[in-house]
């Protein structure tokens, strides 16, 4: 191992080794940042799914009740569908 290190020192000067180490550090940093971002996204997804599922079930129940008298509740059905669309968009954005 010592001979390999001495051989590399003969081929490259200390500035070259520092540049290589700097580039390697940058690549490791980018990799770690990518992994952390992926983990945060997955964590947020898992944390928010139960709440979104509960809200969608609530909206489905409201729409089902309104559909029994479609003509009298048309405006409320439209409002519920808009809320469902908003919830689904937030689900997609996770």
- d(CA 74, CA 65) in angstroms, rounded, equals 12
* pLDDT reported for residue 94: 57
Residue 85 contacts residue 56 (beta carbons within 8 Å):
no
Q: Angle CA(73)–CA(74)–CA(79) in degrees, nearest 5?
A: 95
CA distance 55 to 91: 11
> pLDDT tens for residues 33-63?
999 999 998 888 888 888 888 988 998 898 8
pLDDT tens track for 6-42: 777 777 777 887 888 899 999 999 999 999 999 998 8
Which alpha helices (DSSP H) does the chain contain, by range?
Answer: 2-11, 14-67, 74-92
């Amino acid at each position: 191992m010592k001979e390999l290190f001495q051989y590399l020192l003969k081929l490259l000067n200390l500035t070259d080794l520092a540049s290589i180490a700097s580039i390697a550090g940058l690549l490791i940093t980018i990799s770690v940042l990518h992994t952390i971002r992926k983990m945060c996204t997955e964590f947020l997804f898992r944390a928010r799914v139960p709440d979104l599922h509960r809200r969608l079930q609530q909206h489905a129940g409201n729409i089902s009740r309104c559909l029994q008298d479609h003509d009298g509740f048309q405006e409320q059905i439209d409002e519920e569908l808009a809320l469902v669309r908003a919830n689904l968009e937030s689900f997609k954005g996770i």
